[in-house]
Amino acid sequence: MTQCCINPSILSADFVNLEAELQRISTADAVHVDVMDNHFVPNLTIGLPVVQRIREVSPIPLDAHLMIADADRWAPGFADAGLASVTFHAEASIAPVKLARELRSRGSKAGMAIRPATPVEPYLDMLSELDMLLIMTVEPGFGGQAFLDLTLPKIRRARAAIDGSGIGVAIQVDGGITEETIVRAAEAGANVFVAGSAVYGAEDPAAAIERLRREANRTLPAVTGE
């Protein structure tokens, strides 16, 4: 639980100079790639061919967040592309357990995301099928939104269930993460943090990553009592 990961989102990067933008976050734990289809969310970003190319030039592993409809059909292709982690939305999957197992069988870690208004309780029994649970702290689809504090109780409930089960599932939060909100999210039990504007909006992204990591690591030991 004490391992903190900072995964900057390239949604806030300069897409014209994406290879250079990836180098600017080379000290991060992974690059968070937001895939949006203009169906599941009202925005369109990039598809599998571009993600494959990003993987070829990225200095750090890829953490894909698929905000797409019909995840059961499309998500396995991202695992086949060699991504370290592939996260699908519970709301976009008919058979989330089957899909999580398929992602793992193809070599990727399996993540499942839920929107701010989606309860976590119906999915707690499938924690053993997941490597990561992504609790959205904004509505998916756009960057630059403010952190929703109403998601904090959900993060706490998920952390209690994970700790009680003894299963090593990470809790990722995505949306509105700053040096201030990362503390609240870490206190609630999150340990993987997606930050877009806070990193790419900084003059020095590497320094911003280090500040976020420092704030989270300062909080996590206090939460776990270590």
CA separation for the pair 208, 223 (Å, rounded): 23
Residue 44 dihedral angles phi and psi, to the nearest 5°: -130, 125
Q: Quick one: which of 90, 106, 83 has its CA closest to 33?
A: 83
Question: What DSSP string describes 142-200?
Answer: -SSPPP-GGGHHHHHHHHHHHHHHT---EEEEESS--TTHHHHHHHHT--EEEESHHHH
CA separation for the pair 25, 207 (Å, rounded): 10
Catalytic (active-site) positions: 34, 174
Strand, coil or helix: 16: helix
Give strand pairing partners of 8: 195
